[in-house]
Structure 1
Amino acid sequence: MYSSRLLLTAVLKYSVLSICIANTLSVSHAENTAFNTDFLKDKTDLVAVDALNYGYTIEPGTYEFAVSINNQYIGKRPIHFSKNQDNQVEPCLDQAFIDEYKILFSSAEQKKINAQGCYDLSVIPNAQVNPQIGEQKLNITLPQVNVSQNPRGFVSPVEFDQGIHAVILNYSANTSYFQNRNESDRYNNSLFLNGGFNIGPWRYRNNTNFTQYSGQNSHWQSVSNKLERDFQTKLPTRLEIGDSFSNSDVFDSFNFRGIQLSSDSMQLPSSLQNYAPTIHGTAQSNATVEIRQNGYIVYSTNVAAGHFTIRDLYAANDSGDLEVSVIESDGRVRKFIQPYSSVPNMVRPQQSKFQFTAGQYRSGNDQNYHPYFGQLTYAYGVNNFVTPYTGIIAAEDYYSGAAGLAFSLGSFGALSTDLTYANNKTAQGDSKDGVSVRFLYAKSLNSIGTNFRLVGYRYSSKDYYSFSDAMQERAQYKDGLYQYDYQADNLNNEAQLSEEQRRRYFYSPTYYNKRNQFSVSINQELGDYGQLYLTLAKTDFWQAEFNQENWQVGYNKSFRRFSYGMYYQHSKSMLHNDENIFGVNFTFNLDRVAALKKYDLMSNTNYQHSDRFGENMNSALSGSFLEDKNLSAQIQVSHQEQGNNNQIALNTNYRGTKFNSSLGYTYADQYQQASASIDGGILIHSDGVVFGQQMYGNPILVEAKGAQGVRLENQTGLKVDRSGYAVISSSSAYNRNRVALRAEDFGQNMNIDSPVANDVVPTKNAVVKVKFDVKTGHSVLANLSYQDKFVATAASILDPETQKSVGLVGLDGQAYLTGVQSEQVLIAKWGDESFEQCQFTLPKLSNREMGYDEINSSCHAVEEH
């Protein structure tokens, strides 16, 4: 901010002085004589004359410039401008600049450095350094051989912001009340807390929850505690201490409590990071979808009746079976398994990827067996085509080793294959040796609109145990038999039972080993004819009667305000029979009616047929309300063939500045359900406490004192509060984020020099503070005179209390002032000496909603204090 003002002042000085003395200077140049500048007492004016004399447009100094290389924006940084031997002012590109932006030199002759340590890039053929002074931009053009090629989405580590010291707490409270005609009333209450603190680069986080069900004891559970930080080295790394999970580059992912040091792909550009799988499913009513991995909930969301797709599974581990639970509004639970492995693990040439883990195995499935272990995985990019990788695991009564290769097949995609050997001592005391072979393949055929998201296959011998399977085998062994738990089919008509009450147990003398695993996901774009997709996931056991599979094929099409889709899903879990579901859905946008357009009204109708639960029909009408569309509401009617059950449901959701809340009510033939929830976040920082929406990761603290009520762009329901703060819930770690105040909310008496911050780059879980300099007050056009003359052109108008500029004098003593108050004393300053400044007092100003006041004021000598 300060450098921008300084730059503007300098440019204005030069422009106005050029008007006054241009003719005289031109004569001087013509006669090759020096111009007498003794009458100019202001030193900055002398600099301006020097600039005109030698032709430069910026005075020496340091300013913040936006840097671009070959027209690709890189970031902002301070640039020092200095005079060269020809008295020209040019940017100094020092060694730090060369290193930061990875500028290369083909020969020693190109490394030309002056006495100030500045590189002269003009010696490089076809290179140009072009500073755009007025816009504070610096564009450098270099041959490709002289600049390191950065991947798409690259952000220099110099821009990473570790944020401020802070304490955060997220909360989510939920309550549901059930009234069933055939049973006593029931209720469920829950509270989820996620919090911690940030000190420098260190982050501590804790997850705790509280549950309370009718007829059961209340239960507090501390799910996880973790302390972590990043290291921005040549090979970006992350240190984690506490509860976390391993990656899946070589072995299947699992949870642990201990210490882990690993290469950190999050610090890499987004184009080099892996993806999470897409989950398809169906719901027969307003339902909750929960996704578990290794017994822990990694994702939860509410969906309407019909087909749903989950594409934002950020919280999932890199691999490991995903258990998807669809919890219907009447309490029925349907589950299916989505096997998941990451895409082939290619590492860039001459780079490596590693992870070292040591600690205690953990699981959320109430296991009492938690042995200590150690694991090491490593991969190295030999060249653009081959990446070998290997890994070992050692634990009590278990060890395993693996080795594999990942291949880039060019236009044919990427493939990885590996072989894993494992030795395990079972709970019965037997020693089991086995091998497992895995193939992973990924390919995108963009030219024909086909995307193979993932194709994977694994074969395991009968005596092979993965580390997780070995731990599960010991945990399930109960008095000579293996205990398996499942949801009983015959309990689906009993509404609102808890998961524990629905759980049933099956005992077998055999632990079921996996034989084959296969998964594929294909999306085919058909242009104007819509989209076709197919997903298939299948797991075969050596005990074939317990095989499980889930596959789905579907078609979607949109036409103006109308869209429709159809799908067919087949699923079978380990201890359940097959289920086949056919469904169609129709969506219609009602915005054609002018009176309804502002409410974003949408109608949706779904039909499903299940061979387990019969037919289901659902119709819903939803819309958004209030100025910021932060209140949504939905009314839904449905019919379920099973039990001949009819129901109507009402749901509302409000997204506010301080919290989010929702209310729901369902009336059915056999039961009624009422629910409510509230969630939000609390941020404690050095200047106070801010209440806001939940902070998912990398929250941004916005300080804009004086801008109360101003909304933030692209942040539904979020406004600057009375204390001058707002909290943006999340942002992209290690990427540039844009934070902007909505200009239409600025009042006439509010002025913000720069209401947009484009280069906010937080590290993982950092709390970054973005401060906007808000000036509140009146706008005034002042005609200023001093000692019967106009106040000097280019003089700054300062607030003597804050020493901040509120305006600049132009021609004829006119100054446009912003953010000033009635009867405020101001100083006009055009030099450092006492005779180079004067003060004046503003009169009583009018309370205008538009425009500005115009005044005439005489300036007098500054009073000594």
Structure 2
Amino acid sequence: MTFKKISLTVSAFLFLSEILFPVAYADDDIDFDVTTLQARGLSTSLNDYFRSGTKFSPGVSKVTPVINGTEQAVLGLTFDEKGELCLHNADLSSLHIKPIKNEEDRCIDLKSKYPQATINLSPGSNKVDLLLPPEAVEDANNLDISSYQTGGTAALFNYDMLMMRNHTKSDGNDDSDIDNDNKLSTFQSNTEIGFNFDDWIIRSRQSYSSTDGEQTFDQLYTYAQRTLPQYKTIMQAGKVNIAGGVFSTPQIYGVQFSPEQALINNKSSGASVNGIAQTQARVEVRQAGVMIYSTQVPSGPFQLDHLSTLNNTADLQVSVIEQDGSTRTFVVPASSFAHHFSQQETSFSGAIGKLDESDNNDGVSGSMATLSMTTPFSSRAMFSGGVLLAQQYESTAAQLSTGLESGLALSGKLTIANDQRNHVNGVQSNVSASMPVGEQLTVQASATLQNSGYRDLTDGKDVDHEDDHPGKDDDDNYNDQYNRYKSQYNAGMAYRLGELGSINMAWSRATMFGDDGTTDRWTAGWSKTFTGGISVSVNAERDTGADAESLVYANMSIPFGSFHIGANMSRVGDSTNQGITLDQTLNERVNYSLSAYKNSNGDTNTYNGNLHAITNSAQLSLGYSRYDQDSNTYSLGATGGVVATKQGVLFTPYQVQDTFAVVQIPGVSNGEVQTPQGSVWTNRKGYAVSSGMNAYGESRLVLVTKSLPKNVDINNGIQIAHVARGSVTDYTFGTVLSRRALIRIYTANGHLANRGDVVTDSHDNYLTTVGGDGTVFLIDGQLEQQLVLKSSGQPRCHVAFTLAPKPDADKLYETYDAQCKL
């Protein structure tokens, strides 16, 4: 039922209230003079319909719900033939009201479940006001386990593929002899296959690379997983990374149990990486030799936040691979990882299995078992401890973390290890602190110390030397204990200068046991955004040690509508790069970037162009790069996912997560739905995939109404979902194919119908009232009925017009001229 129909109904009531004399009042009911109704050619049934005042028309109406004083988004709710609210459990879910057991085809009686509840209907303002007791309203952060949707079956395939073709002219080669040119083809893919069944999650991920005929294949993980909600625990079995914990461990073939953080309701943690790219570069982040993240970044400073780590103890090795192939590396200490202090219940983690020995030259082998516990120490402190047992290796660790009301966060950790492989034992300690100082300044610092006998399980067996002094270049005889950190320190601050912008500074120091001595790294940056969106930034970093170098990068970006034009300059040692960039977002799906750089050494020029597009089924990227006069690189990338469900084979431009859903807009293709992972668009059958849902949380699916044909109405444009991990759910947006028409009525003598004349059907049921210009607005089934015009003092006549066979989907309503025939 459309809003216009409701408005016309209310208008008719007001019209009748003005022209008819109410003759009796009883319990706020109104009786109209039946004689007057008959004299004006109106049905006496109107007296019964409007007796109790304004009301919602039977059917679905768009209203604004108000729950305990809080106004919510507009919803399509159902009203019965008496104009009373008729709710079902799907409506309760949208309204954040706890479900009530009820037959599907019957209306839920809220007052019988909650006698103190009150329901106020306001048809004039299209509002429904519900006043409910607190126990009736869902707590989104503490839902009962039974409130989450479970089950579902689907298979999936995720892919992230990149193809590159490089053409480099050989030295001394000219254009007439291209057969001697160097042509290098590269193909890289990361794929994941698996399926979900009855909340079980089966996944296998692998990577493949082929460069000029040289191929590599790595199997990253394969596991079966299921959440045990009653224990707030996740069970995994297979080739897995040991989750969380306080130890640095390799992958194992075995089984592990870890807390379901979504049920424990912890804040997220993770690692942050900051650096500077001199050109468009690739950044690779590794932990314990395993690549945990890889991305492309534009030239200039970059920041990668909330990176998922394998554990909280191993440092991150970051490589910045520039466009000319040069690589810079630096370390992000594990002590800088973000921690959380909000857990207010005890949880346990445990794993047992055989260590993964693939590509392992460090002597890490055999079986292992680990057990750890995390428990609240007070309302603002958390204690973690654990033990690890492996063949010829034992370790125990304890950690205390706290967050004070002042914002000061402190953490201290102590790890003791006994390594029988190398006949050593040792201790590692770590402390970290961070604190906001006022509203503008934030400071943080951390330190990690260990003695020469400390070893992680992943360190394996030392490679002994014979008579070589530590620090010599004979890698085969280099003693590993001298290639280890003795201490690591880092400190940083960020300060907002108000109108002058903001600055940040950081320092880190690493000291080795051998003759490599101490290396320091400093970074600093300043940025400012001016009126109109113009932004300026300057960043610098400096390293000491054998490969010491300094880098300075300055950038300016100026917006021109959807364009951004930038200029930048970077300097490394005696080499200077100057560049200009152009970026434009054509629409929400397509953007491109162009850049050109000039190097002071040899006047080397570099040109880049990249195009990125999100289609209904995949994300595509095209790239071209020209380095100097002799090297051209072409690239093509594709990312997305495919799922096979009961609805068929469906494609999505995003990687499918462990919990996902299928959404449907019946009969509408290319309809847009906003999901937690981004916007998706329906296929020709009206289906799309929400590739990631918030497990044990709230997920909103919002229908973008402007993407619908104009002749489609929706009952409810928002679906609010609460799902269990591993579930595959489906949601349907109720749509109605509406036909609307504005009809101008001419009487038998050729004049326009009079304002206030009434239009009924052939059974004398009231439909609408004629407007001031002789028009009426009719919808759907009304257009197919035999229409009768009733005019005061005039005989009834039949309204005749020819309805088009099909409506125009691009028009909100049709227009017709009708002739009234006696």
Q: Mark yes or no: TM-score above 0.5.
A: yes
Q: Tell whether 2:479 aligns with 1:509.
A: yes
| Distance (Å, rounded) in 2 between the aligned partners of 1:131 and 1:230 | 43
Q: Counterpart of 1:567?
A: 539
Letter of the structure 2 residue corresponding to residue 637 of structure 1: Y
Deviation, 1:416, is: 2.6
Deviation, 1:346, is: 2.3
Q: Is the 8 A contact 1:247 1:319 kept in 2?
A: no
| Distance (Å, rounded) in 1 between the aligned partners of 2:346 and 2:320 | 40
Deviation, 1:639, is: 0.9
**CA offset digits 1:196-245 (Å, max 9, x no partner):** 222242222221222112252x2333221132233444x64323233433
Question: Matched residue of 2:334: which SS?
Answer: coil
Which of 386, 389, 395 is 2:390 aligned to?
395
Given the superposition, is the C-alpha separation of residues 526 and 264 from structure 1 closer, same or farther in structure 2, using an over 3 Å criterion?
Answer: farther
Q: Tell whether 2:204 aligns with 1:206.
A: yes
| Distance (Å, rounded) in 1 between the aligned partners of 2:679 and 2:63 | 33
Which of 158, 165, 169 is 2:153 aligned to?
165
**CA offset digits 1:63-96 (Å, max 9, x no partner):** 9996745649799999999x9xxxx999999xx9
| Distance (Å, rounded) in 1 between the aligned partners of 2:246 and 2:678 | 42
Q: Is the 8 A contact 1:340 1:519 kept in 2?
A: no
Deviation, 1:669, is: 4.9
Q: Counterpart of 2:39?
A: none
| Distance (Å, rounded) in 1 between the aligned partners of 2:127 and 2:259 | 37
Which of 500, 508, 514 is 1:529 aligned to?
500
Q: Which moved more, 1:718-727 or 1:707-716?
A: 707-716
Letter of the structure 2 residue corresponding to residue 239 of structure 1: M
| Distance (Å, rounded) in 1 between the aligned partners of 2:322 and 2:690 | 32
Q: Counterpart of 1:278?
A: 272
Letter of the structure 1 residue corresponding to residue 114 of structure 2: C
Which of 543, 566, 579 is 2:548 aligned to?
579
Given the superposition, is the C-alpha separation of residues 32 and 582 from structure 1 closer, same or farther in structure 2, using an over 3 Å criterion?
Answer: closer
Question: Matched residue of 1:410: which SS?
Answer: coil
Q: Counterpart of 1:654?
A: 612
Q: How many residues align?
A: 755
Letter of the structure 2 residue corresponding to residue 441 of structure 1: A
| Distance (Å, rounded) in 1 between the aligned partners of 2:297 and 2:568 | 14
Q: Is the 8 A contact 2:463 2:477 kept in 1?
A: no
Q: Counterpart of 1:801?
A: none
Listed as ranges, the matches of 1:556-705 within 5 Å are: 556-560=527-531, 561-571=533-543, 577-591=546-560, 597-598=561-562, 600-610=563-573, 614-624=574-584, 626-628=586-588, 630-639=590-599, 641=601, 644=602, 646-657=604-615, 658-659=617-618, 660-669=620-629, 671-695=631-655, 697=657, 701-705=662-666
Listed as ranges, the matches of 1:135-146 within 5 Å are: 140=131
Q: Is the 8 A contact 1:230 1:237 kept in 2?
A: yes
Considering only aligned residues, what root-mean-square deviation do their CA atoms show, in Å? 5.4
Q: Counterpart of 1:110?
A: none
Q: Counterpart of 1:190?
A: 188
Given the superposition, is the C-alpha separation of residues 114 and 194 from structure 1 closer, same or farther in structure 2, using an over 3 Å criterion?
Answer: closer
Which of 291, 300, 304 is 1:297 aligned to?
291
| Distance (Å, rounded) in 1 between the aligned partners of 2:807 and 2:339 | 69
Q: Tell whether 2:446 aligns with 1:448.
A: no
Letter of the structure 1 residue corresponding to residue 205 of structure 2: N
Deviation, 1:853, is: 3.1
Q: Counterpart of 2:233?
A: 237
**CA offset digits 1:319-358 (Å, max 9, x no partner):** 5311111112222222111112444542444x22332222
Given the superposition, is the C-alpha separation of residues 848 and 631 from structure 1 closer, same or farther in structure 2, using an over 3 Å criterion?
Answer: closer
Question: Matched residue of 1:346: which SS?
Answer: coil
Letter of the structure 1 residue corresponding to residue 479 of structure 2: P
Deviation, 1:288, is: 0.8
| Distance (Å, rounded) in 1 between the aligned partners of 2:781 and 2:88 | 38
Listed as ranges, the matches of 1:260-339 within 5 Å are: 260-267=256-263, 272-311=266-305, 313-314=307-308, 317-318=311-312, 320-339=314-333
Question: Matched residue of 1:471: which SS?
Answer: helix
| Distance (Å, rounded) in 2 between the aligned partners of 1:281 and 1:246 | 29
| Distance (Å, rounded) in 2 between the aligned partners of 1:746 and 1:554 | 47
Aligned-pair identity (%): 16
Q: Is the 8 A contact 1:703 1:770 kept in 2?
A: yes
Deviation, 1:603, is: 1.9
Given the superposition, is the C-alpha separation of residues 340 and 403 from structure 1 closer, same or farther in structure 2, using an over 3 Å criterion?
Answer: closer
| Distance (Å, rounded) in 2 between the aligned partners of 1:589 and 1:539 | 39
Deviation, 1:792, is: 6.5
Q: Is the 8 A contact 1:65 1:136 kept in 2?
A: yes
Q: Tell whether 2:723 aligns with 1:751.
A: no
Letter of the structure 1 residue corresponding to residue 635 of structure 2: S
Q: Counterpart of 1:124?
A: none
TM superposition score normalised by structure 1: 0.72
TM superposition score normalised by structure 2: 0.75
Q: Is the 8 A contact 1:780 1:855 kept in 2?
A: no
Q: Is the 8 A contact 1:437 1:459 kept in 2?
A: yes
Identify unmatched segments of 5+ residues in structure 1.
Answer: 39-44, 103-112, 122-127, 489-503, 592-596, 797-807, 829-839, 859-865
Deviation, 1:397, is: 1.7
| Distance (Å, rounded) in 1 between the aligned partners of 2:785 and 2:85 | 34
Given the superposition, is the C-alpha separation of residues 855 and 766 from structure 1 closer, same or farther in structure 2, using an over 3 Å criterion?
Answer: farther
Deviation, 1:620, is: 2.6
Q: Counterpart of 2:163?
A: 174
Q: Is the 8 A contact 1:712 1:718 kept in 2?
A: yes
Deviation, 1:581, is: 1.8
Given the superposition, is the C-alpha separation of residues 168 and 437 from structure 1 closer, same or farther in structure 2, using an over 3 Å criterion?
Answer: same
Q: Counterpart of 1:492?
A: none
Deviation, 1:602, is: 1.7
Given the superposition, is the C-alpha separation of residues 480 and 826 from structure 1 closer, same or farther in structure 2, using an over 3 Å criterion?
Answer: farther
**CA offset digits 1:269-326 (Å, max 9, x no partner):** 6xx4133333121223221111112222221111223332223535665553111111
Question: Matched residue of 2:262: which SS?
Answer: helix
Q: Which moved more, 1:333-342 or 1:71-80?
A: 71-80
Q: Is the 8 A contact 1:752 1:772 kept in 2?
A: no
**CA offset digits 1:367-398 (Å, max 9, x no partner):** 56343222222222243233333212122222
Given the superposition, is the C-alpha separation of residues 676 and 116 from structure 1 closer, same or farther in structure 2, using an over 3 Å criterion?
Answer: closer
| Distance (Å, rounded) in 2 between the aligned partners of 1:384 and 1:795 | 71
Which of 721, 732, 738 is 1:771 aligned to?
732
| Distance (Å, rounded) in 2 between the aligned partners of 1:345 and 1:716 | 27
Deviation, 1:461, is: 3.1
Deviation, 1:617, is: 0.6
Given the superposition, is the C-alpha separation of residues 345 and 855 from structure 1 closer, same or farther in structure 2, using an over 3 Å criterion?
Answer: same
Given the superposition, is the C-alpha separation of residues 559 and 625 from structure 1 closer, same or farther in structure 2, using an over 3 Å criterion?
Answer: closer
Deviation, 1:753, is: 1.7
Q: Counterpart of 2:116?
A: 120
| Distance (Å, rounded) in 2 between the aligned partners of 1:794 and 1:245 | 73
Given the superposition, is the C-alpha separation of residues 717 and 232 from structure 1 closer, same or farther in structure 2, using an over 3 Å criterion?
Answer: closer
Q: Tell whether 2:420 aligns with 1:457.
A: no
Question: Matched residue of 1:369: which SS?
Answer: coil
**CA offset digits 1:411-466 (Å, max 9, x no partner):** 1512232333222212x5x2x33233322323234x332234x533232233222x
| Distance (Å, rounded) in 1 between the aligned partners of 2:767 and 2:53 | 25
Given the superposition, is the C-alpha separation of residues 224 and 693 from structure 1 closer, same or farther in structure 2, using an over 3 Å criterion?
Answer: same
Deviation, 1:646, is: 0.7
Listed as ranges, the matches of 1:717-796 within 5 Å are: 719-727=681-689, 730=692, 734-741=697-704, 743=706, 745-747=707-709, 749-754=710-715, 756-757=717-718, 759-761=720-722, 769-776=730-737, 778-781=739-742, 791=760
